[in-house]
Chains A and B, each alone.
Chain A
Amino acid sequence: MNLKKTLCVLNDMESERVIGKYAIGGAVAAFLYVEPGATLDIDVFILWEADASGLLDLKPIYDYLTRKGYNAQREGILVEGWAVQFLTASTDLEREALAQATRIEIAGVPTHVFTQEHLMAICLETGRPKDLARLIQFIHEGHPDEERLAQILNRHGLGRKWNDFKKRFLEPL
């Protein structure tokens, strides 16, 4: 597996207009800010229009990658050893995270990754136990920009949820 090669394929897809701007979210993005851990998938967020029936048809993406010799597996497609999952940015928060993603370079390959503060807001919005655990990890290890986080949370109506989270997990029992 080689993330550098996976990113090159994604960049090719972007430059050949198979997809528009993409950004990495999920665990891979999180592990770039906090202690790295194990994950099998890489979540790639894109903007993708629904068809007339309202369904999201990712066939052009799968066709492109299949032609390049990559194989679909379950809900993703294996690209240079990484199971890539293409996710449409479906909420205002995810669309903002995609628009404001940070440009970074990994082994000389440019890519975009969600900001830490957007990842935190998405964790809070999603709210599964593993998301909340990751949120705690961000707080302890990631040193987020608190003002920027507060702005994002307010903009997306997550202020109350944040207060509940803090009360439940960040205050001593």
Chain B
Amino acid sequence: MNIVSRDDIRRAKAERRRQLVALPLEEKVRIMEQLQQVARTMIAARKQKDKNGKPR
């Protein structure tokens, strides 16, 4: 089993963030559109949950 330290995880996240920041505009827009779809799905699910009267 690989042992991954918190520093390794932090470094990997920082590197991924750097890559995301540097993406071309079209790629960023594509990501925004995908995230928007996820957000809409979650909002719809929450509304449905509220409608059903289930506890939050």
Contact = CB atoms under 8 A, between A and B. Distances in A.
A36 B19 CA distance: 11
Interface stretch (B2-10, B36-44, B47-55): B36-44
Interface residues of B, number: 18
B20 A40 contact: no
Interface in B15-34: 17, 20-21, 23, 25-26, 28-29, 31-33
Nearest to A143: B21
Given A32-B28, A106-B26, A107-B26, A141 B35 contact: no
Interface string A116-144: 00000000000000000000000001100
Contacts of B36: 1, 38-40, 81-82
Interface string A29-64: 001101111111000000000000000000000000
B33 A106 contact: no
Q: How large is the interface on A (under 10, 10 to 19, 20 to 34, 35 or more residues)?
A: 20 to 34
Nearest to B39: A38
Contact of B20 (A1, A35, A81, A142): A35
A9 interface: no
A3 interface: yes
Contacts, number: 53
A40 B39 contact: yes
B10 to A, nearest CB: 14
Contacts of A31: 28, 32
A104 B21 contact: no
B40 A36 contact: no
5 contacts: A31-B32, A34-B21, A35-B20, A36-B35, A105-B25
Interface of A: 1-4, 28, 31-32, 34-40, 81-82, 104-107, 141-142
Given A36-B31, A39-B35, A39-B39, 13 more contacts: A1-B36, A31-B28, A32-B28, A35-B20, A36-B28, A38-B32, A39-B32, A40-B36, A81-B33, A81-B36, A82-B36, A106-B25, A141-B17
